[in-house]
Structures are given as structure tokens and as C-alpha cells.
Structure 1
């Protein structure tokens, strides 16, 4: 991301990250605060340990074989039947089923599936998420931050949004009732409204190296304790 911005001759950005991308956005802001104006996290990973059992299962040995089988001829019909059943049983996962199938379809060969699983296993194992940003959330003091979450997200539960909101000084939180892990698909107008209002109402952060260094040395928000 840093190198891409350099090629595009863009010095500073507002970062919008979804799911694993939310964790990447946080890591970018942590490493390059002087290049980050705002942060928008959508159903972001990296907050707390709990995560969907499906992602825990994907971190186990043999997951690559299962993903490969989903792409075999004849598997489309039972997959579509499972999506239909989840929807009509009003299971929360039904809201995200089509998007999850699309993600699997986007992994057409063994190389791409292996890359996906290596990335997943770097942050998730059978116990859940193994990384957290909570110990560095105080560094968002002075960094406009927006949290957008689906109220029925079963991939990264909405409780994570509450934890992050409490840990991030001055952050905003919007929860979309009836939305799952992909609120920008199921509630596009509401998500776009929230994003536009956030951009209009906030001033971009301007971090200097000295300010960042002072925050790190204090290890807490100025004025606490």
C-alpha cells in the first residue's frame, strides 16, 4: 500500500478497510501515521479472539482440500441449496452466504487457495483470532476513526465493534440492523451516507514524528491518569 501510494504520487489518505483489510488499515496507520488522515473500519478483524467457527475450521489442516472440493464440477448445486436453506431459515449466516461463496469462487487454483489460507492462519487458529489491536488503540487519539458494523455479523461479531469503540478515543460507531459481515452490499445507501458524513464532519489528522514518539513513550492518551 505504501509503495502504491508512492507510485500514484499520493502522500496522505483516508483508509477504509473491511474484515482482514481493517486489520491491514490499522497496521498501515500504526506504521505510517504521517500518511494517514482518517481510518474507517468495516467489520474489521484483529479486535478480540472470538471469530466465526468457519474461519477457525479454515485454519485447520485439510482446509485446502475442502476448498478445492468446493470448486469441483457438481458442487455448485449443493452449495446453492445450502445458501437457499440458510436464507429461508433466517440464519444470520444467510445474509453473507452469497458473498462467502463468491470469495471461494475467487480462489480458482491451488496457488490462490494456499495464499488465502496462509494469510488466514497468520491471524486465526482453532482458538480464534490470535492478534489484537486493543493494546495500541490509544494511538488513534487525534486520528478520526469510524467503525461500521453489521448488527448480525457472525464472522466478526458486533461485540468487537463495541470493544474497539471504547478503546479508540473519539471514534464513531454505526451499527446497521439486519446487516451481516458485508453491510456495504446489503445496506449500501446507509454505509455511503455514514462514510460521506464522516468525511465531511472531520478534519484529517496531521501527525508529526515528534507527536507520535510522545504518544508511544507515554503509552496512553494524554491526560489519562
Structure 2
């Protein structure tokens, strides 16, 4: 019987925890389960952020297989002294995909996870069938002051205070009380509170600081895909965003959409930084429509090489 279950794997000595909607038993690899969609969460978050979407997929009896890993340093996965860069996370994602016996997958990334799946697509184009970016990092300099502050010297000492679980719980309760005001988005707020609360754990805090500093500085995001994002036009690309995102502005969605010919843009009115949590039913419908209409793409290595060459100029 098909069910969503928590699974773990040891990859290169590190424990990787993930939710798997296609398991049929404790040793199931899912080779015959059909198309695989990989859901990659954002910074300080975990696979739990995908729970509303996975529940909606189960309600619809969706036959595609979805897996949602906890990135290293997040959730229930190991938090080793490791490479917490986008490239490091993308390599870990490759290893998990191949370990599951898969050769090509659709990757869906939220926030930092959007940067990870972009890196995955560019590092391992032969493995990537479609690309879905949700309120994604890597598409512009602007980012919330809270994330910029996390990269400053001494942040390690400040974060435990603001991440105290009691303070987070109190703030969440106040937010729910005034939800009627229309300025508070419960789904996004719950996930943000959950992420902040995870930083009370020193192990997760260590991984968060190293991850944040690999992609953000005091001026904003310091990694970008916009200079090569047009190369992704060989793939079906969906860019989804909450119009009320206060973490990464919706202008980044319009910018990315303009850079990728043939890409699709889905804006969720009134949703915040976690549109898949604010509007899971609408989001699931839009994602499945995209997957149904747009068959997996295939990177042409020769065309990719020519396109990269076009991006390059040599000084004589």
C-alpha cells in the first residue's frame, strides 16, 4: 500500500532523513514508482514545511512519488562539520537521488532550497527534468534584514536569545489572535516561527550560521544565478511566489521569469514566504497542472556547451 513515511539513509557516513510518499516497505527503493519529484526546503527549515503539500497530494491520490529530505544541519539529518554551500547541498542531493535508483528527477526548491536546486540543475544537468522555484534565493541582492543580521560578527550569541522557544511560542500566539487583521499569514508565520525555534538548538544554529554566511552578507544575497539562468530554458521552469513575501521580494520572481524564455510564473495573492503552506490546495493544483502539461526536458550537452561559450569572452 502506498504511503508517506519517514525514512533515513546513511550517505558517506552522514544520516539523511527524508519523507517519502512512494514507499511500500522498509526497503523500498521505488524504482518502479514512476516520476520522482524532490522537494527541497529553505534555511533553518526542514522537510516538515512540505507537510501541507504532501497531505494535499495524498488527498488527491497523486501517483507521482515525492521525497522531501532534511538538508544536512537541518531537521533530523546529521549536522557534521561540512560544506554548507549551495554546491555542497546540491552534491548531497545528487547522492541521495542516485542512491534511490533514480536517473532524472523534477526538483522543487523553496527559498535557500531554490538556490540549491538551481545549483543542482547546473552542476548535474543530466539528472534534472524540470525546475520549480518557490520564493527562491539566488535571484537578486535584496533579502530581509533579519537574514542579513545573521551573517554579522557575534550573531552566534544573539540568535539564541531571539530563537528562545518560549518567545517564539508567545509571538506565534499573539499573531494568531490578530489574524483577522489581514496582515498576518498563518501558514508562513507558523513555518517562520518553527524555523526560528530550531535555532535554539546549538547544532542547528551552527549549521544555520555557516549556511547563511555562504550565501548572504551584510548587504544581502551574495550568490546569484541570474547571469546564467537563461541556460535553464532547455527545461520546463515554474517560478512560484507569494505576493506578500517579506523575506525575498516578489520582484525577483518577475526578474527570473523574464530571464528564462518559456518559463511559467505563478503568483499567489496574499501569500507570504511559504505559499505552499499558506495556500496548499491552490499550490498543489498549480504544481500538478505544470507537471501534467510540461513533459520532462532533456539537456542537450552540445547546445549547453555552445551557450556557455557564448557567455564567455577571452582577452587576446
TM-score (norm 2): 0.64
1:203 aligns with 2:295: yes
Residue 223 (structure 1) aligns with: none
Report which stretch shifted further, 176-185 or 55-64.
55-64
Query: How far apart, CA to CA, are the structure 2 residues paired with 1:55 and 1:76?
Result: 17
Superposed CA offset, 1:2-57 (max 9, x none): 11111111000000000000000000000111111100000000101111111112
What secondary structure, in the 3-state scheme, does the structure 1 residue paired with 2:234 have? coil
Equivalent residue in structure 1 for 2:268, among 176, 185, 205: 176
Assess, with a 3 A threshold, how the Cα gap between structure 1 residues 89 and 52 changes in structure 2: closer, same or farther.
Answer: farther
Alpha-carbon contact 1:58-1:117 (below 8 Å) kept: yes
Residue 160 (structure 1) aligns with: 252
1:20 aligns with 2:112: yes
Query: How far apart, CA to CA, are the structure 2 residues paired with 1:71 and 1:48?
Result: 27
Equivalent residue in structure 2 for 1:107, among 199, 206, 226: 199
Assess, with a 3 A threshold, how the Cα gap between structure 1 residues 70 and 144 changes in structure 2: closer, same or farther.
Answer: same
TM-score (norm 1): 0.89
Aligned-pair Cα RMSD in Å:
2.2
Query: How far apart, CA to CA, are the structure 1 residues paired with 2:245 and 2:179?
Result: 14
What secondary structure, in the 3-state scheme, does the structure 2 residue paired with 1:157 have? coil
Aligned residues: 220
Superposed CA offset, 1:35-80 (max 9, x none): 1110000000010111111111222223222221245475356433
1:3 aligns with 2:95: yes
Residue 232 (structure 2) aligns with: 140
Q: Runs of 5+ in structure 1 lacking a partner?
A: 221-225
Alpha-carbon contact 1:92-1:154 (below 8 Å) kept: no
Alpha-carbon contact 1:52-1:154 (below 8 Å) kept: yes
What secondary structure, in the 3-state scheme, does the structure 2 residue paired with 1:122 have? helix
Alpha-carbon contact 2:188-2:278 (below 8 Å) kept: no
Query: How far apart, CA to CA, are the structure 2 residues paired with 1:201 and 1:73?
Result: 43
Report which stretch shifted further, 100-109 or 211-220.
211-220
Greater helix share, 1 or 2? 1
Report which stretch shifted further, 21-30 or 85-94.
85-94
Assess, with a 3 A threshold, how the Cα gap between structure 1 residues 203 and 216 changes in structure 2: closer, same or farther.
Answer: same
Q: Runs of 5+ in structure 2 lacking a partner?
A: 1-92
Equivalent residue in structure 2 for 1:117, among 183, 186, 209: 209
Alpha-carbon contact 1:93-1:154 (below 8 Å) kept: no
Residue 60 (structure 1) aligns with: 152
